[in-house]
Chains A and B, each alone.
Chain A
């Protein structure tokens, strides 16, 4: 039975994988960034399809709106216009493809041999549930990791500033 939902899933999956493949194979870095962008959007679509709307929104906001933009800025900072990416050696490509193929085959063999207990019901959490759990200080709550993550972000911010803004008379 082919339903609309199925078609949408396959379309999204195809978009994601195609863009991902193009992103890692194109020789123009700016295009690579754009393909990455679409690949991420495809993943966000999968989240929507799975009815995890909050995660999908976060995915779009953080990845598409944040990280990809950051990457594009750094491309502007470090790349000369119109320059193509350097080619990798062929033997490196072959070995990498071989290793990746083996790994993929191994993983998929394992996945298909394993029988997951599929739950009977499928219910998606609401944003209210997520918020309540996120700030819950009970045993089940995630208040402590939340705070730790905020510390991590602070540290990352300080680290970025220290690394990137270092005055460099010694390199001149």
Chain B
């Protein structure tokens, strides 16, 4: 059986770090805060790895099926019997897998930040925020109650907000953190309504009870909910769709993705942790957690999930090909890869072989966390070295940054799906799942995988080959100490995570993931089809060679190519004008049609009422203030007159 104390400690240690560093960091642990945060997280990681070992190899499997355990559940707020907000710990294959991913990536980021963020003025605050984020994410992963997941969902939103806005004196960072918060908050509103609909139908907030109620087709709850319809869809469909909107907002799915590229204003390690490996996959995790409901009760919503994922994947891949800010390229790449995970869930079914998409999605989540964190940290090393985010300033860095170069190359190969790196295996499974279920999505995915290889190697060649680089004077952070790192890579603490993650990115694919994670807990054999792999690998290699041809040496071929695709290139460069559409909707439509009348109403009617009451009071009091003369005898006369009148009234009129 799982040990509740050990599992509870995994999220609580980062929380302790947050409280300790948040309260005392700036005074007492000015310099040691990074080490403290890292040490706490190292403990967490070890505990998480131990838990994973224990679960997968010791007690988790009963009669060939991985079971779900709830080692601890505290009822926190009970609305009525059965409907309560609990704080619980769920131990099953996906939560344990996520525990490992979150703690490991977070640990890597903690270690890396020791070097990357060194000398920052708010160094302890940074580690405190990281602790808060890690705590929230782990709490989200372990949640046993849909409301618990919502609470931690908002907490990760807040810590993401804090970390994006870490350079709070930089206007673009402030704008980005507000944008991220508002967009995800907007999506979370959908999530909350979805929670209310689902829990109302199921009569509970608990995940297990909810899933078992909603997936049995003859239960009263499902029949009632199916009978209630709104705009042609049943209540359950609406509930599931709204929950998915929440997930799509957090996971930056089209069209709610606009916050993710801007979120790159945060420190690069933060982007690696939050906006690549962990928080943005929370949406995937949420859909996976409620997967039985999606798959068995509301297949229509699952279809939507699939299409949203596929559209996001291809749009993001096209945009990524044109961006020049390396972190933005990576951000769009993240969005594209999460799109992969989403449509993999979307094409999956529940149980047995048909659940391949589910396994593939989570497998991709796992491998993606490795290589995307590696890419971000590698990009961070480059930015650290060159003091610029712009691809145009880079080039020829392979001699100066050998370790970064190798690890970055491994990550690029992994994401491009070149065997035998990790991305190959997970992507093959996703493509296979798509191939078996939905040919249109399969073709989209195939094209996307070619584009992925192209833009990743465009990035790689632009950074490490091509023309010589330009070194900018200012550092990546405005408050950074001026310590020139010209001529040497970041120190040991920055290289260690890169190497560890590179090992992960290279080897994670060999984990027989289907044995551990599947829809129904039974082991899933992953078949390897050689013929099937030919197409994606060939496309990937084609993408790589195109990128090599265009970007390995400095030349004018890219410009020519861009010119020949003029319209498409421009549209993609401007991110398909989605930001502009949002601006148009908010500025022109919302502000003019709703904001202005509301402002007019506020200024004239609401303020008018307030001013009227104020003015009326002032006018009347000005008139009657002479009564308050301060002359005692005058008061006494009023008093006596009042008493006489009242007495007369009571005696003669109201007998």
Interface residues of A (CB under 8 A from B): 92, 95-96, 99-100, 102-103, 106, 110
Contact = CB atoms under 8 A, between A and B. Distances in A.
Contacts of A103: 640, 643-644
Consensus secondary structure, chain B interface: helix
B637 A95 contact: yes
Instruction: Sort A-B residue pairs by CB-CB distance and give the 3 closest, nearest first.
Output: A103-B644, A99-B640, A102-B644
Contacts of A95: 637
B234 to A, nearest CB: 77
Given A103-B640, A106-B648, 4 more contacts: A92-B633, A92-B634, A106-B647, A110-B651
B576 to A, nearest CB: 77
A23 to B, nearest CB: 17
B629 to A, nearest CB: 12
Contacts of B651: 106, 110
B641 interface: yes
15 contacts: A92-B637, A95-B637, A96-B637, A99-B637, A99-B640, A99-B641, A99-B644, A100-B640, A102-B644, A103-B643, A103-B644, A106-B647, A106-B648, A106-B651, A110-B651
B637 A106 contact: no
Interface string B630-655: 00011001001101100110010000
Contacts of A102: 644
A172 B278 CA distance: 75
Consensus secondary structure, chain A interface: helix
Nearest to A109: B651
Contacts of B648: 106
Residue of A95, A99, A102, A110 most packed against chain B (CB within 10 A): A99
Nearest to A96: B637
Contacts of A106: 644, 647-648, 651
Nearest to A92: B633
A103 B641 CA distance: 9
Contacts of B647: 106
A95 B651 CA distance: 23
A110 B652 CA distance: 11
Contacts of B633: 92
B353 to A, nearest CB: 94
Contacts of A100: 640
A152 B303 CA distance: 87
Nearest to B636: A96
Contacts of A110: 651
Contacts of B643: 103
A95 B633 CA distance: 11
A99 B634 CA distance: 12
Contacts of B644: 99, 102-103, 106
A118 B645 CA distance: 30
A16 B615 CA distance: 55
A3 B193 CA distance: 99
A92 B647 CA distance: 22
A47 B647 CA distance: 30
Nearest to A110: B651
